[in-house]
Chains A and B, each alone.
Chain A
Amino acid sequence: MTNPSDPSGKARREFLRRLGGAAVACSGALAGAGSLATTRGAPQKESRPAESGSFPTKDYDWTKHRWAFGVDATKCIGCLRCVEACKKENDVPLDAHHFNTWVERYVYLEGEDKPRIDSQHDPVNIEASGSQREYRFANRYKDAKVEKAFFVPKLCNQCSNPPCVQVCPTGATFKTKDRVVLIDQKYCIGCQYCVQACPYGARWFNAKKGVSQKCYWCYHRITKGLQPACVEACPVGARIFGDRNDRQSPIKIFMRNNKYRVQVLRPETGNEPNVFYVGLDSEVA
């Protein structure tokens, strides 16, 4: 039942979305109809024959890969090319409040015990870039005596025990066989419980689409043999990505070379992140 003047059904969806829960009984009926329709189109995650052949695409078998991400904080120069590349690649709103990936700057000034932390979304940095669509770190410490400073790229940790997946009431967000946490945007109800549950602040809500979003290591690229956009954009090799099943992959080499130095964020949560860091100090969480 498609409106000829609105073949994509956008207006109808918007209307339904706005209608919301204005009248509970009425909305309930609508919701029932809507979700029945969605259920039919929703992938049956548990029952997919992942073991038997290629999935999720014809040429890709997710049982054959074990993706992991490395970050070498000692290399990052805070140029934020990765952030811009990610926004373009993944259609992330070009503002200072929604990011799949971001970079934190830790600066220890002389005589201070705690670092001063900021990220590209800080109003001072946004002012320096002149726009919420482009990012740079303002040179705000040029007159201060800096003792130590470093940058830390952040992104979704694609945890092995993801709390976001645990709390999702529909199973719209799920862990793939190749260790990436994905979100089925056609099934997400937009309750944002996952946004709350992520201790890393990696998830955000796309108000336009009405669903949660986050970094998924450019799953559309890596399943085609490409690197995530941020990894490709990084000029210094601070971001490392690869398949842990492949002994020659960059991540495997990175892990091997830094065997006793890699760490993960907030190990105490038991989430078991799959982004491995080198060069952090204890203040980074």
Chain B
Amino acid sequence: MEPLAHTAPYIGYVYPNETVIPWTVLIVVYPYLTGLVAGAFTVSSLYHVFGMEQFKPVGRFALLTALAFMIFVPAPLLLHLGHPERAFNPVWTPHWTSAIAVFGYAAGFYVLLLILEVWFMYRPYLVQQAQQRPGFLGKLCHVAALGSHDLAEKAMRYDEKWIFALAVTGIPAAHGLHGYVGFVFGSLKSREWWSSDLMPVVFLFSAVISGVALLIVLYVLSCKLRRVPIDLPCVKGLAYVLWGFAMFTLVLEGLEFANIVYKAREGIEIILEYVTGPLIVPFFILQFALGAVTPLALLTYMIWKGTTGRALVVGVTTSALLVLFSVWMMRWNVVIGGQEIAKTAKGILEYQIVILHREGLVTAVSVAVAPLFLLWAMVRMLPPWMETASWEVAKPRAGDRRGAVDRRNA
């Protein structure tokens, strides 16, 4: 029979109860998924709120990506809970001093917001499909349109207003949700590695870069699969966003680490022993050198040289993959790293991942990959590709900056 608790080997002195690491790889997956959501939503907002036309090819896709990943955000938490059937206790009887108590409300609100925005965006499509498609799917689209079949200009303007309002509301919602995840860690005074005022900000910025990177990878991949040309201005725009936010993230992470080292509060000896020992590879080499500095250098070089064409796509996609990896390592180094430094400040533990377990590697990978399948299904049902969207109804809006850009481009 498999043991109920997997214990961690250690050196030095650790409290007896610390030998069971409380938060496992699933709690690494959780902020990773939330971060991807926040980042994907950011890109969606750049188009829908700020009217940045170059992101039009991924505008809808970004929103679907955010929704697909957001739906799976509670999964790692539910799998982690000792009593998942009590998961709604914090919702019914929230204990407001707890950072986690907000999660149910924040996540619920955000999922609703995403669903609403997606619905408004796809309402014309649903109406069109309900009229054209025979059989079950047609009926399904008919039902999904919720009886709102009016595609007249007035109705479309109304929809546009909603989409805009939801996209605006979504920005603080998505970023608030992820900043809050950083607060869950940063607000704990029991662990020096976590206890940082910068933690929510670091989480937020790394979230944005992970989401942008994910979109780059998925967009390029989807173009290859659909055999359509990749929109270079879009990729370049995403590369700029990635570069800017990645720069901020790197600086913030550097500052946070410098703060810990410079303040050198109680326990700094063990932290230094940890970062210069077990953390050398995951922290300095994988997270910083490979995951942060390399893509930044690559992107800088490409922007400087004005790289374009296939080289740009390859370079940006490579950078995006490295950033995705870096953010994963950042989550790992925060969540697992914080627990590997003993609260005694006199010992170091070693988290050993279990392969087959409720909180094991297979579960974690499954949860992390599952949103991609959902996204695939969603894309099949609700085609997000604007260049091929024959159903898209022209939606001019009074004083619409996008309209202005369109006209200029024309």
Which residues of A does B touch, CB under 8 Å? 13, 16-22, 24, 27-28, 30-36, 38-39, 42, 95-99, 102, 104, 117-121, 154, 163, 165-172, 187-193, 195-212, 269, 285
Contacts and interface: CB of A to CB of B under 8 A. Distances in A.
A97 B20 CA distance: 7
Given A98-B20, A190-B82, A211-B82, A169 B92 contact: no
5 contacts: A17-B85, A34-B86, A35-B85, A191-B81, A199-B343
Contacts of B7: 97
Contacts of B189: 163, 199, 269
Interface of B: 4-5, 7, 13-20, 22-23, 71-72, 74-95, 97-101, 103, 184, 188-191, 266, 339, 343-346, 358
A104 to B, nearest CB: 8
Given A97-B7, A170-B93, A197-B190, A211 B344 contact: no
Contacts of B14: 201
- In order of increasing CB-CB distance, the 8 nearest A-B pairs are A190-B82, A21-B78, A201-B15, A210-B82, A34-B85, A171-B95, A207-B4, A169-B100
A44 to B, nearest CB: 9
A9 to B, nearest CB: 12
Given A39-B93, A192-B23, A201 B18 contact: yes
Given A199-B190, A200-B15, A200-B343, A167 B83 contact: no
A189 B82 contact: yes
A208 B98 contact: no
A96 B75 contact: no
Given A20-B358, A285-B344, A205 B90 contact: no
A203 B78 CA distance: 21
A22 B26 CA distance: 13
A196 B89 contact: no
A270 to B, nearest CB: 8
A196 B18 CA distance: 9
Contacts of A17: 82-85
B189 to A, nearest CB: 6
A201 B339 CA distance: 12
Contacts of B79: 20-22
B358 A201 contact: no
B82 A207 contact: yes
Contact of A169 (B84, B101, B345): B101
A35 B344 contact: no
A210 B13 CA distance: 27
Given A195-B22, A211-B82, A269-B189, A21 B92 contact: no
Given A121-B19, A188-B83, A196-B190, A21 B100 contact: no
A20 B363 CA distance: 12
B3 to A, nearest CB: 9
A117 B82 contact: no
A209 B82 contact: yes
Contacts of A203: 17
Given A169-B89, A193-B98, A196-B188, 8 more contacts: A13-B85, A28-B87, A34-B83, A34-B86, A98-B17, A170-B93, A199-B189, A269-B189
A189 B81 contact: yes
A170 B95 contact: yes
B327 to A, nearest CB: 22
Contact of A21 (B77, B88, B93, B343): B77
Contacts of B81: 20-21, 189-191, 210
A35 B97 contact: no
B76 A16 contact: no
B19 A31 contact: no
Contacts of B23: 192, 196
B191 A196 contact: yes
A184 to B, nearest CB: 10
Contacts of A285: 266, 344-345
Nearest to A104: B13
A191 B18 contact: no
A165 B188 CA distance: 12
Contacts of B191: 196
B89 A27 contact: no
B86 A35 contact: yes
B345 A168 contact: no
A119 B13 contact: yes
Nearest to A190: B82
A31 B82 contact: no
Contacts of A39: 89, 92-93
Contact of B97 (A28, A31, A167): A167
Nearest to B94: A169
A98 B79 CA distance: 22
B363 to A, nearest CB: 9
A197 B191 CA distance: 8
